[in-house]
Amino acid sequence: MQLIHEPLSRRSEVVLGVAGVLGSALVLELLIRLEIVTGSGLPLPSAVADQARGLLGDVDFWSQILYTLREWMLGLAIASVAGVVLGGLMGASRTVFKLFALTVEILRPLPAIAVGPLLVLLIGDGMLPLAVTVAIACTWPILFNSMYAAKAVDPVAIQTARTLHVSPLGILTRIRLPAALPFMFTGIRVAASIGLIVAVSAELLLGNGVGIGGYILLASTSASNLDAVYAATLVAGVMGVLVSVLFAVADRLLFGWKAGLAP
Amino acid sequence: MSAITRDRAVRPAPSAVSRRIRRAGSSAILPLVVPALLVALWWWGSESAVNGLFIAPPRDVLDRTLSDFLSPHPGDLFLGEVARHDLVPSLWRAALGFWLAVVVGVGLGIVLGLRPVLAALFQPLVHLGRSLPTPALIGVFFLLFGTGDWPKVLLIAFGVVWPILFNTIDGVQGIGTARAHVASVFKIPSRDVLLRIVLPGAAPKIFAGVRVALSLSLIMMVISELQKAKNGLGYLLVYSQRNFDYPGFWTVLVVLAVVGIVLNVIMIQIERRVLAWHRGVTAQHD
Amino acid sequence: MTEHTTERTAPASLELEAISKVYGVTRAIDEINAQVPAGEVTVIVGPSGAGKTTLLRIISGLDTPTTGRVLFDGSPIKGVPDGLAMVFQDYSRSLFPWMRVEDNVAFPLRRGVEKAERRRRVLEALQAVGLEGKERLYPWQMSGGMQQRVAIARALACHPRLLVMDEPYASVDAQTRAELEDLLLEIQTRLNVTVLVVTHDIDESVYLADNIIVMSKAPSTVQEVIRVGLARPRDQIATKEEPEFVHARAHVLRLLRGEAEPEAATPDDTLEVGV
């Protein structure tokens, strides 16, 4: 008997994916409607979808979405600068690596969300403590990928450039950086997905009713409004999927050449 | 690198030895410089007039951590009162949720990974699950599963299952047609294909997912205890802050970091044993 | 069901009857009729993209032909025939890096062969390919040529009646390649097994073969079947100097070049086609 199968075509994958989403929603809908599964607070797909449509037509909710997006971008920007600089230096120099490796290992496991309340106390209210929480969570993948990025360059490429009399500056800008960029971008791409989740979670736990998380927090206070909680969570999840798709497309457009290197 | 080798060839031996000693000394001290600076910064912050209120002095935090979390009594397994009351229940729930996620994620991932049609059907949902801000569902979980430990355990499991599931599917699909052909030509029984080809072949990817899940489960553990909890590290964070017990708050942060480091070390040890062959293969390709 | 019997049985023969394969609208194999006589070495040679790999997958029961049938010892095959073992081109993927050499070789024997017998067969197979004492190594601790020897040992340990090899030496260096060619001929004589090899290397095809099946570009047909009467044992230098070898090599090359683009066939690449 054959256990491992050949992959499907791209088109049938898309068709099946759509069918899977609709089918799962339909099954869940029927399970709840026919009272095969009972209990309060179950998500009825049609009601959640309805509520989500309503949210997307709501100007106020859009301003919350924009708030979350701005907070996310600010956090990601801080993390990108910190991660690329520190990670790049750690990858390029043994000494810098030794200086920071232990510190990174100590600080990395700390859940960013747990540090959040402290940031609120120290920085005060507003977007900044939320964005810094996002930045803390996002720094690690960028840092590690930048570290590998700095080591990514093929020594043969550098030797080749030397034999072609390329200047040290040219080697840096034309060989080391192009070789490193895809890895750095991978780090930012991973961080972007994490960052959006952390942004919504941080709003939920620290915020004062701002952003998508703030909306969910307010909706959660009344048990009758659970569909709104599900709908807003779903919107946040779909936003996350869109973000990762966008970054994947950008990755392919910008660094398509590296696919040729994959083993 | 090349500068060092050139150096070594020219200089006489004694200086190379002394340099090696100096280097060994510096490699022991260097990693401690930044942590020392951070502690100094922490201490300086606790002395400052504005923020000192919220920043407990490192010395106090250390004392408090030791007295709360450690005990001289072997009968308590050397665990302090707070450790027994909050740390142990927290870790217990996190472990339960984490294991649930590993079992479900790997099991389901293998089934989906082996059936391209099933994988394609559920791929968008797996992507959605990975992108959901799980903490948003905490209220819903309490409503659905009551108020005891279960909603917390299930929230942790739901939050961390996605990277395991995603990576397992990816790993199984990456095993490739060449190995599938070997299995067919030599008529390897399904059980052996599963346990000796699919599982080991996907193991590097599965481990990558499990590592992400492990650090994520610490975060989910804290979050699950921020509401409707009677114990746990997350509960302690909220409780100490509400009572303006800032040394207590900082103590929890220190303990969280220690727990994270210990779990990470355990994970690395397990990986080293299970994936020894994989390191061999990648080292060879370098 | 394979009961891997201890007794070696007679070598198998193979007949291809009007095999064709169509993928969607592309015709990969037009119509192939051929014989693989029992106890001999048959080599399929053809340019890249000649559907050699597709044909091999059909012969080994991994794929089904659109029309036609494969007869294994006179009866049509359903799935992978019992008594067939295969050596794949890409040893790094066909061997399992998480198993030691001995476990890789023993892996197909885990069903139906008891432990002591399994152990005996593993050692015997490793000895046949010159890898005694290497059983505790992992494949990635060995050179490419040694890894391919492990793959051959794994196939031999099954006591096959038909050994199928898909471009087995395409990924090893020239020196190792020559060694493995001689190893194959020696094993084939000693164990009396039918061997079917696919290659794009013309020298190799003539050196190994009792019969050469020359295929055309896709949609593939059989251009010609050449009988090679060179004496055994063959020798990498002496055999290749014999007039018959030189003649057969030139003949195969002409057949293949007749199909190739005129400018692609420069005098320099007389030895290999369609790499």
- Whole-angstrom Cα distance, residue A147 to residue A235? 34
Q: What are the tens digits of pLDDT across the range B131-180?
A: 999 999 988 898 889 888 999 999 999 999 999 999 999 999 988 888 88
pLDDT beyond 60 at C270: no
Residues in contact with C45: Cβ distance below 8 Å, sequence separation at least 6, in sequence order? C198, C199, C200, C201, C202, C205, C212, C213, C214, C215, C252, C256
pLDDT band with cut points at 50, 70 and 90 for residue C181: very high
Measured in angstroms, the CA of B5 and the nearest CA of chain C are apart by 28
- Whole-angstrom Cα distance, residue A117 to residue A130? 10
Higher pLDDT, C172 or C16: C16
Strands of the sheet with C26-36, listed across from one edge: C75-76, C67-72, C14-23, C26-36, C220-227, C211-215, C41-45, C194-199, C162-166, C84-87
3-state secondary structure of C225: strand
Q: Is residue B177 part of a domain?
A: yes
Residues from chain C contacting residue B284 (CB–CB below 8 Å): 140-141
Residue C165 per-residue DSSP state: E
Residues from chain B contacting residue C112 (CB–CB below 8 Å): none
Minimal Cβ distance to B179: which of C80, C93, C141:
C93
Do C151 and C183 touch, CB atoms closer than 8 A? no
pLDDT beyond 70 at C261: no
> Does the beta carbon of C84 lie under 8 angstroms from any beta carbon of chain B?
yes
pLDDT beyond 80 at B69: yes
Tell me if B185 and C84 make a contact (CB, 8 A cut-off). Answer: yes
Instruction: State the residue range of the domain holding B204.
Output: 74-285
Domain boundaries, chain C: 14-83+160-264
Q: Is residue B102 part of a domain?
A: yes
| Nearest residue to B78 via CA among B86, B66, B70, B68 | B70
pLDDT above 70: percentage of residues in chain A: 95
Tell me if B32 and A102 make a contact (CB, 8 A cut-off). Answer: yes
What is the predicted pLDDT for the residue at C150?
A: 95
How far the first Cα of chain C sits from its last, in Å, is: 39
> Does the beta carbon of B194 lie under 8 angstroms from any beta carbon of chain C?
no
What is the predicted pLDDT for the residue at C2?
A: 43
What is the predicted pLDDT for the residue at C118?
A: 93
What is the predicted pLDDT for the residue at B86?
A: 93
Do B220 and B156 touch, CB atoms closer than 8 A? yes
Q: CB count, 10 Å around CB of A11?
A: 8
- Give the chain B residue nearest A124 (alpha carbons): B51
| Chains B, C: CB pairs < 8 Å | 67
Minimal Cβ distance to A114: which of B35, B175, B222:
B222
Neighbour-count burial for A125-146, b at 16+ CB within 10 Å, e otherwise: eebbbbbbbbbbbbbbbbbbbb
Do B193 and B181 touch, CB atoms closer than 8 A? no
pLDDT beyond 60 at C259: no
What is the predicted pLDDT for the residue at B262?
A: 92
- Give the chain C residue nearest B187 (alpha carbons): C108
Q: Is residue B31 part of a domain?
A: no
- Chain Cα centroid distance, residue C60: 11
What is the predicted pLDDT for the residue at C59?
A: 92
pLDDT beyond 60 at B195: yes
> Does the beta carbon of B181 lie under 8 angstroms from any beta carbon of chain C?
yes
Measured in angstroms, the CA of C140 and the nearest CA of chain B are apart by 6
Tell me if A111 and B218 make a contact (CB, 8 A cut-off). Answer: yes
Do B68 and B85 touch, CB atoms closer than 8 A? no
- Whole-angstrom Cα distance, residue A127 to residue A210? 9
pLDDT beyond 50 at B107: yes
Q: Is residue B204 part of a domain?
A: yes
Q: Could you tell me the maximum CA-CA distance found in chain C, to the nearest angstrom?
A: 59
- Whole-angstrom Cα distance, residue A228 to residue B99? 31
Higher pLDDT, B104 or B241: B104
Residues B84-94: what's their mean pLDDT?
94
Average pLDDT, chain B: 87
What is the predicted pLDDT for the residue at B83?
A: 85
Do C60 and C80 touch, CB atoms closer than 8 A? yes
pLDDT beyond 50 at C229: yes
Q: Is residue B36 part of a domain?
A: no
- Whole-angstrom Cα distance, residue A61 to residue A246? 22
Q: Is residue B66 part of a domain?
A: no
Residues B91-101: what's their mean pLDDT?
97
What is the predicted pLDDT for the residue at A109?
A: 82
Interface test with B, best of C77, C95, C98, C166 (most B CBs within 10 A): C98
Residue with tokens 């067939």: C84
The first and second tokens of residue B173, run together, are 């699909």
Question: What beta strand segments (E) does chain C contain?
Answer: 14-23, 26-36, 41-45, 67-72, 75-76, 84-87, 162-166, 194-199, 211-215, 220-227
User: How would you write chain A as a 3-class SS string?
Assistant: CCCCCCCCCHHHHHHHHHHHHHHHHHHHHHHHHCCCCCCCCCCCHHHHHHHHHHHHCCHHHHHHHHHHHHHHHHHHHHHHHHHHHHHHHHHHCHHHHHHHHHHHHHHCCCCHHHHHHHHHHHHCCCHHHHHHHHHHHHHHHHHHHHHHHHHCCCHHHHHHHHHCCCCHHHHHHHHHHHHHHHHHHHHHHHHHHHHHHHHHHHHHHHCCCCHHHHHHHHHHCCHHHHHHHHHHHHHHHHHHHHHHHHHHHHHHHHHHHHHHHCC
Angle at A111 between CA A106 and CA A115, to 5 degrees: 95
pLDDT band with cut points at 50, 70 and 90 for residue B25: low
Element (H, E) at B244: none
The phi and psi torsions of B149 (rounded to 5 degrees) equal -80, -25
* Total count of domains within chain B: 1
pLDDT above 70: percentage of residues in chain C: 91
Residues from chain B contacting residue C64 (CB–CB below 8 Å): none
Q: What are the tens digits of pLDDT across the range A21-53?
A: 999 999 999 999 998 888 778 899 999 999 999
Interface test with C, best of B181, B196, B286 (most C CBs within 10 A): B181
- Whole-angstrom Cα distance, residue B196 to residue C247? 49
- Give the chain C residue nearest B190 (alpha carbons): C111
What is the predicted pLDDT for the residue at A2?
A: 58
What is the predicted pLDDT for the residue at C54?
A: 87
Architecture of domain C14-83+160-264: 3-Layer(aba) Sandwich (3.40)
Do B207 and B14 touch, CB atoms closer than 8 A? no
Residues from chain B contacting residue A5 (CB–CB below 8 Å): 114-116, 180
3-state secondary structure of C158: coil
Minimal Cβ distance to C138: which of B184, B188, B277:
B277
Q: Is residue B239 part of a domain?
A: yes
Q: What are the tens digits of pLDDT across the range A239-263?
A: 999 999 999 999 988 887 766 554 4
Residues from chain B contacting residue A107 (CB–CB below 8 Å): 257
Residues from chain B contacting residue A39 (CB–CB below 8 Å): 144
Residues C224-248: what's their mean pLDDT?
92
Minimal Cβ distance to B189: which of C96, C111, C140:
C111
Q: What is the CATH number of the domain that holds B261?
A: 1.10.3720.10
Strand pairing partners for C226? C212
The first and second tokens of residue B114, run together, are 């082996």
pLDDT beyond 60 at B219: yes
Provide the ipTM: 0.88
Cα A99 to Cα B36, B37, B64, B198: the distances in Å are: 11, 11, 29, 41
| Chains A, B: CB pairs < 8 Å | 202
Q: What are the tens digits of pLDDT across the range C138-159?
A: 999 999 999 999 999 999 999 9
Tell me if B120 and A13 make a contact (CB, 8 A cut-off). Answer: yes
Angle at A253 between CA A250 and CA A254, to 5 degrees: 80
What is the predicted pLDDT for the residue at C153?
A: 95
What CATH code is assigned to A48-254?
Answer: 1.10.3720.10
Tell me if C107 and B280 make a contact (CB, 8 A cut-off). Answer: no
> Does the beta carbon of B273 lie under 8 angstroms from any beta carbon of chain C?
no
- Give the chain A residue nearest B227 (alpha carbons): A205
| Nearest residue to A110 via CA among B84, B228, B237 | B237
The first and second tokens of residue A62, run together, are 């859009």
Measured in angstroms, the CA of C139 and the nearest CA of chain B are apart by 9
- Whole-angstrom Cα distance, residue B59 to residue B39? 10
Element (H, E) at C255: helix C243-259
Do B87 and B255 touch, CB atoms closer than 8 A? yes
Residues in contact with C188: Cβ distance below 8 Å, sequence separation at least 6, in sequence order? C41, C163, C195
- Whole-angstrom Cα distance, residue C244 to residue C227? 11
- Whole-angstrom Cα distance, residue A129 to residue C244? 84
The first and second tokens of residue B119, run together, are 């994988």
Percent helix / strand / coil, chain C, rounded to 5: 35, 25, 40
- Whole-angstrom Cα distance, residue A121 to residue B251? 16
pLDDT beyond 50 at C268: no
Measured in angstroms, the CA of B170 and the nearest CA of chain A are apart by 12
Average pLDDT, chain C: 86
What is the predicted pLDDT for the residue at B15?
A: 61
pLDDT band with cut points at 50, 70 and 90 for residue A123: confident
Tell me if B192 and C107 make a contact (CB, 8 A cut-off). Answer: yes
| Nearest residue to B215 via CA among B168, B267, B170 | B267
Tell me if B281 and C94 make a contact (CB, 8 A cut-off). Answer: no
The phi and psi torsions of C70 (rounded to 5 degrees) equal -110, 125
Average pLDDT, chain A: 88
Tell me if A229 and B33 make a contact (CB, 8 A cut-off). Answer: no
Tell me if B187 and C138 make a contact (CB, 8 A cut-off). Answer: no
- Chain Cα centroid distance, residue B34: 23
Q: Is residue B261 part of a domain?
A: yes
Neighbouring chains of C at 3+ CB pairs under 8 Å are B
What is the predicted pLDDT for the residue at A4?
A: 64
- Whole-angstrom Cα distance, residue C8 to residue C161? 8
